[in-house]
Structure 1
Amino acid sequence: MKKALFSFCLVLLISCTPKTHDYLKMEGMIFGTFYHIIYQPVKENDLINKGVANELSKVDWALSTFKDTSTISRFNVSEKGSYVDSMLKYVYQSGVEINRNTEGAFDMTVAPLVNAWGFGFKKKDSITSLLIDSLLMNVGMEKIQLKENFLSKSKPGIMFDASAIAKGYGVDVVADYLGSQGIDNYMVEIGGEIRVHGVNNKGIAWRVGIDKPIDDRAAVNREIQDVLSLTNVGLATSGNYRNFYIKDGQKYAHTIDPKTGYPVQHSLLSASIIAPECMVADGYATACMVMGVEKSMEVISALPGIEGYFIYVDDEGNNQVKYTEGFKDYVVK
């Protein structure tokens, strides 16, 4: 009798144990870059590919400045502003908060300057101090106001550029979609911006590398500076070692200071930010590249739930690393 009871309990235990599935991979292109997704499906016939593609398409039609009829493009060509969808509205509201917390270092109205320097969605202009001064008249988050679903601007020349936050937002949208499908273990990456949840296929926290800042626009020669152990967070890195050009012996990097109108010139090579949302990490990483290492350490250290890792050049020309107190918990020893 006892033997029969034991057999019943064993069968019951096996039948009640949820069946695990092998991790799957997805990849494709969006926002002019590649995306990669690794996840553990919760059912045999997994059909999330179409859902992921739909979510990414929504973000693209909301935030892409390369689509003439996207929500952000309609705002950019408007005289006084336009009605916006929920995605651009949310990104704008997040951008306002990051702008405030970084004392204006993050500013999505920097679009005219980004275009002028050749890193935006329009043809590069011939740079003069008069041009920069005139474009700065259209820069400033305070020149835009949101009332319900209408985003107004004080001057026709004001334009939005969400490229510093769009990839991170796209990562969040896909991650939230995976969560809505009951998927607990995943890593979503778009153009180097990442959000992870749960564990990897080895049953441990996800391992993610931080690149050494090597001038390499093709991202072929990659070396790892440090390896992080991450779960349930977003990670974004901004740097001036891939998106740049050289003219007359001068290097021009893609990070534009919205206060001066010129590409930043300082010792900070890259900034990696960990935050609950990848979009937030993305925005602060960009702001740090404007602020420089010391101001970035000050600002990020004061923000709850956000940590920063900074690679910079010291006075002797050697690469050095600084990170906030909480970031050390993520570094694999």
Structure 2
Amino acid sequence: MEKKAQRNFLWIALLVLGTIWILARHNRPIPYQTDNGLIFGTVYKITYQHDKNLKEEIEAELKRFDGSLSPFNDTATITRINRNEDIVPDAFFTNVFRRSAEISKETDGAFDITVASLVNAWGFGFKKGIFPDSTMIDSLLEITGYDKVKLSEEGKIVKQDNRIMLSCSAIAKGYAVDVIAQLLKREGVRNFMVDIGGEVVVCGQNPQKGAWRIGLNKPIDDSLAINQELQAVLQVTDIGMATSGNYRNYYYKDGKKYAHTIDPRTGYPVQHSILSATVIAKDCMSADAYATAFMVMGLEEAERFADAHPDIDALFIYADEEGKFQTYLTKGMEKYMK
């Protein structure tokens, strides 16, 4: 009887200890972790709350994405389409193409992925160009225009002219952020920030249990990305955000600055007062494309468009007549400013 009581006591003790262990494990806070790396010629930083490190899965997804939309990848879907190979594009490419067509139509061509030949000619693309003259620009404009390329019922890209080339660099990075955000959600992650080269998706809370804080750089000419002085800080969650600017990718020729934003409608680098455009949208792919479109439009046209589209919020930093930085906010953007 005494041995039986000892066994019962032992079982009860083990049960109590097991319960304590389970409760302690259950109540243990799930850690935040951060993965860093290089992709698409830029850096990524992903912070997320999860027991498991997901860097291997993240980089595998980014590699698949690169194999679809990187024009620097010789076997990528977009490269093969630019070579006029007879292929059916993958889902990554198709999703970007369809959203690009929608935004091109909305912005009257200020955003246009057929701008690749012009971007290359000005020296900002995936092929080295020769500084163009007006005759060359006129010739390249003949093969530029979102309405000159379609997605057929069979799912193939159909060009009006085989010389047309596509570049999704003004939307693909934003979509890559969305793709990684979707991966994290599939893994059960609810609190995270995905940042690829300044394009961002945030969800839930930061490690301090508050909104995520995103700094916006002052648009000071800085081709080496050394300057980190901030113009503003936004507090955001559950949004996609992208910034486009002409203060890092540019060059001077004969004393004149040429920036990487090319107007698909004129064929020339933009020359106006907007220095950077930041857009908040429901997804980063859209934010990325709209930010580029606003840099093409110029301040007045961009203000009108942003104010007429309550589904997006925008912040423009521009130079006034004296060269001083000024800021324009849509009404919806004000709630993020802290």
Q: What is the TM-score normalised by the length of structure 2?
A: 0.91
Could you tell me which residue of structure 2 aligns to residue 209 of structure 1?
Answer: 215
Q: Distance in 2 between matches of 1:301 and 1:276?
A: 16
Contact 1:214 1:222 in 2 (8 A): no
Contact 2:123 2:131 in 1 (8 A): no
Q: Does 1:133 align with 2:138?
A: yes
**CA offset at residue 316 of structure 1?**
2.1
Contact 2:175 2:284 in 1 (8 A): yes
Q: What is the identity, as a one-letter code, of the residue corresponding to 1:33? A: T
Cα distance change on mapping 1:11 and 1:166 into 2, 3 Å = same
Deviation string for 1:243-290 (max 9, x for gaps)?
001111110000000011000000010000001111110000000000
**CA offset at residue 136 of structure 1?**
0.4
Q: Does 1:218 align with 2:224?
A: yes
Q: Give the length in aligned residue pairs.
A: 320
Could you tell me which residue of structure 2 aligns to residue 261 of structure 1?
Answer: 267
Q: Secondary structure at the match of 1:164?
A: coil
Q: Distance in 2 between matches of 1:110 and 1:89?
A: 18
1:181-200 matched pairs, under 5 angstroms: 181-200=187-206
Contact 1:62 1:70 in 2 (8 A): yes
Q: Distance in 1 between matches of 2:334 and 2:310?
A: 15
Deviation string for 1:18-69 (max 9, x for gaps)?
532221010000001110011111x3xx141111011101110100101111
Q: What is the identity, as a one-letter code, of the residue corresponding to 2:116? A: A
Could you tell me which residue of structure 1 aligns to residue 122 of structure 2?
Answer: 117
Q: What is the identity, as a one-letter code, of the residue corresponding to 2:307? A: S
Q: 1:37 aligns with which of 32, 36, 46?
A: 46
Q: Distance in 2 between matches of 1:133 and 1:82?
A: 30
Q: Distance in 2 between matches of 1:145 and 1:273?
A: 27
Q: Secondary structure at the match of 1:68?
A: coil
Q: 1:55 aligns with which of 56, 61, 71?
A: 61
Q: Does 1:165 align with 2:174?
A: no
Deviation string for 1:123-168 (max 9, x for gaps)?
1213111100000011011001112311110101101001111110
Contact 1:82 1:152 in 2 (8 A): no
Report the more deviating stretch, 137-146 or 11-20: 11-20
1:1-333 matched pairs, under 5 angstroms: 18-41=27-50, 43=51, 46-78=52-84, 82-148=87-153, 149-332=155-338
Q: Distance in 1 between matches of 2:27 and 2:109?
A: 50
Contact 2:275 2:317 in 1 (8 A): yes
Which stretches of structure 1, 4 residues or more, deviate above 6 A after TM superposition? Answer: 10-13
**CA offset at residue 305 of structure 1?**
2.1
Could you tell me which residue of structure 1 aligns to residue 13 of structure 2?
Answer: none
Q: Distance in 1 between matches of 2:124 and 2:21?
A: 62
Q: What is the identity, as a one-letter code, of the residue corresponding to 1:260? A: T
Could you tell me which residue of structure 2 aligns to residue 4 of structure 1?
Answer: none
Cα distance change on mapping 1:19 and 1:119 into 2, 3 Å = same
Identity of matched residues, %: 49
**Alignment root-mean-square deviation, CA:** 1.8
Q: Distance in 1 between matches of 2:331 and 2:20?
A: 50
Q: Distance in 2 between matches of 1:47 and 1:225?
A: 34
**CA offset at residue 16 of structure 1?**
9.5
Q: What is the identity, as a one-letter code, of the residue corresponding to 1:27? A: N
**Bigger radius of gyration among the two:** 2
